[in-house]
Amino acid sequence: MIKLPAKAISGDHAYSEVMMRRPSGGVLSDTLSVIEKTGDQYTAFLNYLTGVCESINAEERAVTDKIQIKQIIRKMPYKSAEYLSVLSASELHGSDKIEGIYKCTRCKHAIVCEETEDSDTTDRLSDLTINQTDETGFRVELKYPFVIRTTEGELEIKDIEFQFPTIENCITANLSADKSKLQFRIYSESMVKVNGGDVDKKDRARYGLAIFNAMDASDIAEIGRQNRSIGIQTTLKKNCPSCGKVFDAIINPVNFFGSALRID
Ligand SMILES: [Zn+2]
């Protein structure tokens, strides 16, 4: 059994554990085709996990029906789905080495982390911190409250409550043609309360995106930090061999997932 970094809330149940099997050839090729044709990692994770999850368990309940499993994965926090997918892919691949190129934030020197015949500078998934929580989301009290105008008058935005963005939230946000605002759309989809009051689909359409467009950058950054606080922690310290600066490099679990699935 593998414990989810954060639970999937579906219906009246909180699903916290899964049992996974190895992916079939069909699951592999379907997942790779989604990644290569559309770059849509949300749908790729949904399809992949539906293919490899044998059962998903809540307190006293084990779901093994494929259609129900897919419904629960839609409600799974993205960071939980990312963790399960990456873990499964690394087991399949037989290695958890993560290659990457990281640019020094001061001198722009590129550090290449790779495995060659005589050296190995890759990072390992098993060395990364995985954060677990019993929370289902987070609340951000804004440092810089602001007023937006909606069709129903002015609204002061002071604090916002979010659920951890689910696969479904991400897929819905990704339907929009405007990919430049994808992260804001994901925040809008996962917003559950504004100033303590419930947010519904209509509210989201009316002012969801406007809130994040108008918000102060430091409040946006705080939402991002909270959002990434569960699951695989992707920030690593790197030491620049050219100028000596120690900087934060961000590893990309989706790249790792895509390359680990390529079985030659
Ligand atoms: Zn440097």
Read off the pTM.
0.93
What is the dihedral sign for C-alpha 61, 133, 4, 160? Answer: positive
Instruction: Give the model confidence (pLDDT) of 82-92 as tens digits.
Output: 999 999 999 99
Q: Could you tell me what percent of the chain has a pLDDT over 90? A: 85
**Ligand 1 centroid to 247 CA: how many Å?**
9
**Ligand 1 centroid to 154 CA: how many Å?**
47
Q: What value does the mean pLDDT take over residues 232-238?
A: 93
Gap between the Cα atoms of 17 and 5, Å rounded: 9
pLDDT band of 60, cuts 50, 70, 90: confident
Between residues 133 and 254, which one has the greater pLDDT?
A: 133
**Ligand 1 centroid to 244 CA: how many Å?**
6
Q: How many helices (H) and strands (E) does the chain have?
A: 10, 16
62 pLDDT higher than 70: yes
263 pLDDT higher than 80: no
Instruction: Give the model confidence (pLDDT) of 129-164 as tens digits.
Output: 999 999 999 999 999 999 998 888 898 999 999 999
**Ligand 1 centroid to 250 CA: how many Å?**
16
How far, in whole angstroms, is CA 58 from its chain's centroid?
21
Q: What value does the mean pLDDT take over residues 27-38?
A: 93
pLDDT band of 198, cuts 50, 70, 90: very high
Listed by start position, the domains of the chain span 2-93, 137-227
**Ligand 1 centroid to 249 CA: how many Å?**
12
**Ligand 1 centroid to 235 CA: how many Å?**
17
What pLDDT, on the 0 to 100 scale, is given for residue 152? 80
What is the DSSP secondary-structure string of 218-261? HHHHHHHHHHTSSEE--EEEEE-TTT--EEEEE--HHHHHHHHT
**Ligand 1 centroid to 240 CA: how many Å?**
5
What pLDDT, on the 0 to 100 scale, is given for residue 55? 97
Q: Specify the 3-state DSSP secondary structure of 186.
A: helix
